[in-house]
Structure 1
Amino acid sequence: MDHIHVIGGGLAGLTAAITAAESGARVTLHEGHRTLGGRARTSDGPYRANEGPHALYRRGPHWTWLARRGLLGAGSSPTAPEAPLPFARRAPRTAPVDRAFLEWAAGQVGEEGARAAANFAATALFHHDPGALSARFVQERLHRLAAFPPEAHYPVGGWAPLVERMAGHARGLGVGIETASRVDTRALGELARTGPVVVATSLDSARALLDDASLTWESGRTVLLDLAVRTRRGDAFVVSDLDAPGWLERFTAQDPGLAPAGEQLLQGQFPIGPDARRAEGSARAEELLDLGFPGWRERTTWRVEAIADGRTGAVDRPGTTWRDRPSVVRGDGIFLAGDQVAAPGLLSEVSFTSGLEAAVLAVKAAGQRSRTGARDRG
Structure 2
Amino acid sequence: MRKLTIIGGGFAGLTAAITAAEAGTKVTLHESHRTLGGRARTADGPYRTNEGPHALYAGGPHWTWLKQRGLLGPLAPLPAAESLRFRFHRDGALRRVPPLGLLRQALRGAGQAPVDLDFRTWAGRLAGARTAATAAAYSGVALFHHDPGALSARFVQERLHRAASLPPEAHYLRGGWGELIDRMAARAWESGVRIETSSRVDTLPTGEGPVIVATALPAAARLLGDPSLTWESGRTVLVDLALRTRTGDPFVVSDLDAPGWVERFTAQDPSLAPAGQQLLQAQLPIGPDEGKADGVAHAERLLDLGFPGWRERTVWRRESVSQGRTGAVDRPGTTWRDRPAVDRGDGVYLVGDQVAAPGVLSEVSFTSAVEAVSLALRADRPGRRVRPGTGARAGRPDGLDLKRA
Shorter-chain TM-score range: over 0.9
1:278 corresponds to 2:292: yes
The answer for the alignment partner of 2:325 in structure 1 is 311
Instruction: Tell me the distance in 1 between the aligned counterparts of 2:176 and 2:10.
Output: 14
Corresponding residue SS for 1:76: coil
Counting only pairs closer than 5 Å after superposition, residues 1-378 of structure 1 correspond to structure 2 as 1-78=1-78, 79=83, 84-185=102-203, 188=204, 191-368=205-382
What is the TM-score with the length of structure 1 in the denominator?
A: 0.95
State the shift of 1:242 in Å: 0.4
DSSP-derived class of the 1:223 partner: strand
After superposition, give the CA deviation of every residue in 1:8-67 in whole Å (9 maximum; x if it has no partner). 000100000001111110001110000000000000100000011110011111111100
Aligned 8 A contact 1:53 1:268 in 2: no
SS of 2:35's partner is: coil
In 2: Cα distance, 1:209 partner to 1:348 partner: 23
Q: Secondary structure at the match of 1:314?
A: coil
What's the TM-score once normalised by structure 2's chain length?
0.88
What percent identity do the matched residue pairs reach? 68
User: 1:146 offset after TM fit, Å?
Assistant: 1.3
- Shift of the alpha carbon at 1:333? 0.4
What is the alpha-carbon distance in structure 2 between the residues aligned to residue 48 and residue 121 of structure 1? 25
| Structure 1 residues 234 and 369, CA gap change in structure 2 (3 angstroms) | farther
**Amino acid corresponding to residue 121 of structure 2 in structure 1:** E
- Give, in whole Å, the separation in 2 of the partners of 1:363 and 1:28: 16
Structure 2 CA distance, aligned partners of 1:370 and 1:326? 24
Q: CA deviation digits over 1:321-356, x for unaligned, max 9?
A: 000000000011000000000000111111110011
1:311, CA displacement in angstroms?
1.2
Report the count of equivalent residues: 367
Higher helix content, 1 or 2: 1
Change (3 A) 1:368 1:314: farther
User: Cα deviation per residue 1:210-246 (whole Å; 9 max; x = unaligned)?
Assistant: 0011100000011011111000000000000000110
The offset of 1:368, in angstroms, is 4.2
Is the contact between residue 7 and residue 198 of structure 1 (CA under 8 Å) also seen in structure 2? yes
Cα deviation, residue 309, structure 1:
1.3
Between the aligned partners of 2:173 and 2:53, the Cα distance in structure 1 is: 12
SS in 2 for 1:184: coil
Unaligned runs of 5+ in 2: 87-96, 386-405
Separation in 2 of the partners of 1:306 and 1:353? Answer: 29
Work out whether residues 58 and 169 of structure 2, in 8 Å CA contact, stay in contact via their aligned partners in 1: yes
Task: Give the 3-state SS of the residue equivalent to 2:378 in structure 1.
Answer: helix
Question: 8 Å contact 1:21–1:173 — kept in the other structure?
Answer: yes
Q: Secondary structure at the match of 1:215?
A: coil
Q: Letter of the aligned partner of 2:70 in structure 1? A: G
CA RMSD after TM alignment: 1.5
Give, in angstroms, the shift of residue 256 of structure 1.
Answer: 0.1
Secondary structure of the equivalent of 1:123?
A: helix
1:119 shift after superposition: 0.3
Provide the rounded CA distance (Å) in 1 between the counterparts of 2:261 and 2:237: 11
Separation in 2, partners of 1:367, 1:174 = 22
Distance in structure 1 (CA, Å) of the matches to 2:226 and 2:246:
52
Deviations 1:256-282 (A, max 9, x none): 000000000011210011121111110
Alpha carbons 2:378, 2:384 under 8 Å: kept: no
Shift in alpha-carbon separation, 1:370–1:6, aligned structure 2, 3 A: farther
- How far the C-alpha of 1:2 sits from its partner, in A, is 2.7
Partners of 1:217 and 1:340 within 8 A in 2 = yes
Contact 1:226 1:303 in 2 (8 A): yes
3-state DSSP class of the match of 2:326?
A: strand
Determine if contact 2:14/2:188 at 8 Å carries over to the other structure: yes
Could you report, residue by residue, the CA deviation over 1:296-336 in whole angstroms, capped at 9, with x for unpaired residues? 00000111111111111000000000000000000110000
**Distance (Å, rounded) in 2 between the aligned partners of 1:45 and 1:367:** 47
